């Protein structure tokens, strides 16, 4: 079997042990598939590959001309040396042609990039069955992988950060490799070689201002701070936040608090509940969330959810009054929290 996992994938990407044959790079994270495919090409061909020795094909080109791949594989490089064919967006229809070419033993490496393949899919079965092939799955990064990528990127460019920048950025970026790379490139360009990054820099460059404003609104409501609520609503309006979105997020927030409250009532600690919450709660919000879990009972949270659900219904019937309906409902819940 040549299906690589975990450390074997990293080891292969650092020093591929295959010079001729077939490498399948596949998975649901298209950005990571593309990145790893490009890394294999770089390891095999160098930083500036000979354009005559590197052939880039889309699956659509092979579909349009069934002979194209065979011709490219059987044609030696104009100036000799290694040849590599990179195929993107490959489908299972490619498997029979690949098997035929591999059996002929041409001195060429074929790097195939595909989507999320099941164990029974033809491309994956072919890569996992042959000794002259490797299968590299690419799944969404977990928190540890994103953390490592951020630190490696900043180290490569000698960028210094405040202590909480890396975990903050990790939580902001999520687990899509393409998005992560794009945001990191933006930060590197901003900081410059050997530069510095602060928490404020990261928030300004990578934060979703509308999402941050909504978080501030619901936390102000839940903790009973009317002044903060008014300021947060002003920022949310400035960020162009839709009233229906705001109400939906607020309702989801209090429904989530109710679920957490039930776990606490069953014997779990607030810290345990928050640490295993999905989606993950950003560390900067945890104090506010802990306070809300202390303030609210299940009965109070049920009443808050009912009030918000009613506001959602009313705002849909009379869209012109939606902002006023939303503010009135949320302020009432905020005042209820203040009395606790």
pLDDT at residue 78, as a whole number: 65
Nearest to 333 by CA among 246, 236, 247, 222: 222
What burial letters (b/e) apply to 76-115, b meaning 16+ CB within 10 Å?
Answer: ebeeeebbbbbbbebbbebbebbeebbeeebebbbbbbbb
* Res. 45: pLDDT tops 60: yes
Residue 210: pLDDT band (50, 70, 90) is low
Share of the chain above pLDDT 70, in %: 93
pLDDT at residue 164, as a whole number: 80
> Interior CA angle at 131 toward 128 and 134, to 5°?
50
Residue 261, CA distances (Å) to 95, 214, 282 in order: 52, 22, 19
Element (H, E) at 112: strand 109-114
- CATH-assigned architecture of domain 7-137: 3-Layer(aba) Sandwich (3.40)
Residue 208: pLDDT band (50, 70, 90) is low
pLDDT at residue 6, as a whole number: 73
CB-count exposure of residue 74 (10 Å: 0-12, 13-18, 19+): exposed
> Interior CA angle at 6 toward 4 and 7, to 5°?
95
* Res. 248: pLDDT tops 60: yes
- CATH-assigned architecture of domain 143-206: Orthogonal Bundle (1.10)
Q: What is the DSSP letter of 85?
A: E
pLDDT at residue 340, as a whole number: 82
- CATH-assigned architecture of domain 213-338: Up-down Bundle (1.20)
pLDDT higher at 172 or 95:
95
The Cβ-side half-sphere exposure at 189, using a 13 Å CA radius, reads 8
Question: Rounded to an integer, what distance in angstroms lies between the CA atom of residue 16 and that of residue 44?
Answer: 8
Report cis status (omega within 30 of 0) of the bond before 279. yes
pLDDT at residue 75, as a whole number: 83
Domain boundaries, the chain: 7-137, 143-206, 213-338
List the beta bridge partners of residue 156.
Answer: none
289, two tokens: 């969330």
pLDDT digits over 214-236, tens only?
888 999 999 999 988 988 888 77
Predicted TM-score (pTM) of the model is 0.53
pLDDT digits over 89-120, tens only?
999 999 999 999 999 888 899 999 998 898 89
The position carrying tokens 């902002």 is: 323
Question: Rounded to an integer, what distance in angstroms lies between the CA atom of residue 266 and that of residue 178?
Answer: 41
Question: Rounded to an integer, what distance in angstroms lies between the CA atom of residue 326 and that of residue 308?
Answer: 8
The pLDDT of 183-191, averaged and rounded, is 89
């Amino acid at each position: 079997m040549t299906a690589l996992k975990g450390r074997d994938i990293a080891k292969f990407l650092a020093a591929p042990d295959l010079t001729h044959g077939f490498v399948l790079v596949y998975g649901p994270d298209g950005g990571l598939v593309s990145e790893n495919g490009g890394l294999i090409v770089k390891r095999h061909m160098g930083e500036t590959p000979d354009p005559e020795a590197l052939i880039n094909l889309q699956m659509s080109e092979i579909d349009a001309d069934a002979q194209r791949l065979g011709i490219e594989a059987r044609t030696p490089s104009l100036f000799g040396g290694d040849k590599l064919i990179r195929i993107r967006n490959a489908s299972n229809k490619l498997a029979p042609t690949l098997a035929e070419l591999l059996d002929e033993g041409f001195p060429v490496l074929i790097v195939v990039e595909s989507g999320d393949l099941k164990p029974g899919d033809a491309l994956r079965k072919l890569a996992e069955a042959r000794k002259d092939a490797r299968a590299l799955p690419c799944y969404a990064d977990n928190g540890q992988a994103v953390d490592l990528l951020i630190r490696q990127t900043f180290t490569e460019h000698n960028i210094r950060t405040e202590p909480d920048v890396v975990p903050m950025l990790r939580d902001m970026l999520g687990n899509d490799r393409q998005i992560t790379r794009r945001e990191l490139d933006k930060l590197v360009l901003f900081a410059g070689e050997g530069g510095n990054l602060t928490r404020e820099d990261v928030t300004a460059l990578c934060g979703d201002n509308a999402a941050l404003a909504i978080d501030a609104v619901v936390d102000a409501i839940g903790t009973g701070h009317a002044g903060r609520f008014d300021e947060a609503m002003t920022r949310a309006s400035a960020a162009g936040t839709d009233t229906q979105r705001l109400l939906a997020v607020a309702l989801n927030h209090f429904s989530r608090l109710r679920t957490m409250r039930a776990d606490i009532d069953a014997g779990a600690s607030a810290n345990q509940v928050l640490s295993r919450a999905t989606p993950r709660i950003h560390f900067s919000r945890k104090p506010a969330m802990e306070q809300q879990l202390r303030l609210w009972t299940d009965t109070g949270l049920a009443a808050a959810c009912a009030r918000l659900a009613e506001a959602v219904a009313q705002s849909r019937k009379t869209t012109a009054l939606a902002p006023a309906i939303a503010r009135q409902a949320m302020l009432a819940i905020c005042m209820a929290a203040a009395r606790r």
